[in-house]
Amino acid sequence: MLRQLLGLQILGKLEDAGFAEEPQTKPLAKPYMAEKIYARVDGLPSGMKVQVYTTVIGDNENVPVEVRASGKDAIRVCAVYVTKDGETRGLSKETRVNRTGDIEDIVDRMIERMRNAWRTCKTAERCASCAAPKFVTKNNKLCCSEICWKTDEEKRLDNAKFKVNQRKSRYNKYTRR
Ligand SMILES: [Zn+2]
Residue 25 CA to ligand 1 centre (angstroms)? 27
Residue 154 CA to ligand 1 centre (angstroms)? 15
CB atoms within 10 A of CB 23: 6
Tell me how far apart the alpha carbons of residues 104 and 14 are, in angstroms, rounded to a whole number. 14
The residues whose Cβ lies within 5 A of ligand 1, an ion, are 127, 130, 132, 144, 148
Residue 77 CA to ligand 1 centre (angstroms)? 25
Beta strands at 37-40 and 48-53: parallel, antiparallel or unpaired: antiparallel
pLDDT given for residue 88 in this prediction? 93
Nearest C-alpha neighbor of 55 from the set 118, 104, 10:
10
Beta strands in 48-177 (DSSP E): 48-53, 56-57, 66-67, 74-82, 88-90, 95-98, 134-136, 142-144
Tell me how far apart the alpha carbons of residues 71 and 154 are, in angstroms, rounded to a whole number. 43
> What's the full length of the chain, in residues?
177
Residue 66 CA to ligand 1 centre (angstroms)? 41
Contact 146, 158 (CB under 8 A): no
List pLDDT tens digits, range 129-154. Answer: 999 999 999 888 999 999 999 988 88
Residue 84 CA to ligand 1 centre (angstroms)? 12
Residue 94 CA to ligand 1 centre (angstroms)? 22
pTM of structure? 0.86
Helix orientation angle between 2-16 and 103-123, rounded to the nearest 10 degrees: 30
User: In this predicted model, which residue has the larger pLDDT, 16 or 1?
Assistant: 16
